């Protein structure tokens, strides 16, 4: 019975649509279905003299000696090896959800010592471990490095991009699958990418309209629990149905975001300003120093003297006052500020003053 209702709901989803709606798969994820971070340590060989300086990175020599021992080669103690063609690196990757043994994933290789470039190098087999210490993949291959550099004998050099980091597409082979509870009979939980009570409620309502009352329940502003079939194969069909349901998300709260480092200002759609009058000007003070030479009279016994002189100039801009009418919208704010020719720095000061006065009906965020 549940399977028949599932098939019927699927056709209803395909045939229906909401104005300015978004699919659930674009605004939410399934709890537990996520990627996992992997990290490992290894050696890159085959460099053109741009590897680690062994006197400053003893762990590179130790790692290389340990690798040679695995092949039956023992380096005599006290031997000082110059391995400018070898670099110690850290390897990182993202293991996708449901990745199976034998599949390949991309990896990023980064120098951990003083290697100047990894260009032209090859990564030797390096195990990639998860947070539990288990090996989930093995990495190996030739690096692709987008950066490069050149250095002269006088110490001058030029560098383009970052030559100490490279990537290997499909450079790691998955050896172990990450266990998950997807096949368990528990309800499926959808987590919204952006916490919003209105959106969570609308997602639950849209699912219940398709599958029946009580199937979905909004737990909070992020999570929606949905009753799902017990059969794992039916659960896949069920999630395929859920992620294609279209929902009109709730609108964002009124916010003004200011990036003080770049001067970027973003004003949200629902920002309003109470009736208020604003004036903003700047005072410029310029002090210039000048020196004048004073010559003695002809045939006099005096000496030439240098007298300093200062000139102070004060300029105050006379920007007009502008007024915000009741319920001014985003368009009104932009038009008023542009009319007085305010710069991003001036606009930051105006918005902060509006927020302090209580006239700005929005959350002011400085990042």
Question: Are 256 and 362 in contact, with CB atoms under 8 Å apart?
Answer: yes
Query: Distance from CA of residue 71 to its chain's centroid?
Result: 42
What is the number of residues in the chain? 367
C-alpha 138/C-alpha 165 separation (Å) is 19
Provide the sign of the torsion angle of the four alpha carbons 77, 79, 80, 81, taken in this order: negative
Q: Which of 194, 139, 158 is nearest to 28 (CA)?
A: 194
Q: How many other β-carbons are positioned within 10 Å of the β-carbon of residue 172?
A: 26
- DSSP code, position 113: S
Helix and strand tally (H, E) in the chain? 7, 23
Instruction: Tell me what pLDDT residue 225 has.
Output: 94
Enter the CATH code of domain 2-33+181-245. Answer: 3.90.1150
Predicted TM-score (pTM) of this structure:
0.68
* Residue 278 phi, psi (nearest 5): -130, 135
Instruction: Tell me what pLDDT residue 122 has.
Output: 96
Could you tell me which residues come within 8 angstroms of residue 283 by beta carbon, excluding any fewer than 6 positions away? 314, 315, 316, 317
Q: Give the pair of three-digit tokens for residue 238.
A: 């069920």
Question: Are 83 and 67 in contact, with CB atoms under 8 Å apart?
Answer: no
Q: Give the pair of three-digit tokens for residue 258.
A: 């200011």
Q: Give the pair of three-digit tokens for residue 273.
A: 């300003």
Q: Is 343 left (phi over 0), alpha (psi -120 to 50) or beta?
A: beta
Q: Which of 33, 19, 23 is nearest to 207 (CA)?
A: 23
Residue extents of the structural domains in the chain = 2-33+181-245, 36-174, 255-366
Cα separations in angstroms, 162 against 74, 83, 252 = 35, 22, 38
**Residue 174 bridge partners (DSSP):** 137
**For the chain (length 367 residues), average pLDDT per consecutive 10?**
43 45 92 92 92 80 87 80 88 94 96 90 96 95 83 63 91 92 83 93 94 92 92 86 91 83 79 73 56 69 68 58 63 67 73 79 83
């Amino acid at each position: 019975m549940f399977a028949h209702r599932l098939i019927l709901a699927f056709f209803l989803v395909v045939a229906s649509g909401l104005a300015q709606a978004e699919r659930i798969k674009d605004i939410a994820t399934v709890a537990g279905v996520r990627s996992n971070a992997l990290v490992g340590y290894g050696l890159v060989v085959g460099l053109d003299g741009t590897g680690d300086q062994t006197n400053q990175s003893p762990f590179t020599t130790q790692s290389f000696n340990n690798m040679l021992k695995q092949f039956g080669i023992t380096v005599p103690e006290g031997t000082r090896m110059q391995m400018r063609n070898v670099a110690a690196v850290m390897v990182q990757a993202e293991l996708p959800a449901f990745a199976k043994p034998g599949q390949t994933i991309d990896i990023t290789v980064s120098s951990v010592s003083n290697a100047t470039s990894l260009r032209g190098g090859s990564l030797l087999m390096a195990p990639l471990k998860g947070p539990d210490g288990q090996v989930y993949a093995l990495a190996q291959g030739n690096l692709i490095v987008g950066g490069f550099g050149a250095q002269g004998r006088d110490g001058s050099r030029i560098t383009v991009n970052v030559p100490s980091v490279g990537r290997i597409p499909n450079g790691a082979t998955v050896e172990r699958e990450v266990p998950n509870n997807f096949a368990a009979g528990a309800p499926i939980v959808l987590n919204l990418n952006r916490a919003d009570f209105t959106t969570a409620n609308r997602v639950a309502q849209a699912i219940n309209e398709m599958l029946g009352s009580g199937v979905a329940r909004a737990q909070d502003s992020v999570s929606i629990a949905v009753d799902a079939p017990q059969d794992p194969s039916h659960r896949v069909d069920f999630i395929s149905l859920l992620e294609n349901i279209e929902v009109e998300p709730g609108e964002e709260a009124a916010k003004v975001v200011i990036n003080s480092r770049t001067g970027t200002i973003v004003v949200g759609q629902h920002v309003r300003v109470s009736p208020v009058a604003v004036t903003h000007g700047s005072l410029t003070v310029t002090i210039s120093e000048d020196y004048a030479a004073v010559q003695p009279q002809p045939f006099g016994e005096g000496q030439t003297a240098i007298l300093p002189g200062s000139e102070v100039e004060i300029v105050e801009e006379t920007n007009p006052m502008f007024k915000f009418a009741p319920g001014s919208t985003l368009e009104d704010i932009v038009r008023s500020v542009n009319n007085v020719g305010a710069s991003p720095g001036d606009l930051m000061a105006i918005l902060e003053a509006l927020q302090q006065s209580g006239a700005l009906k929005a959350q002011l965020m400085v990042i």
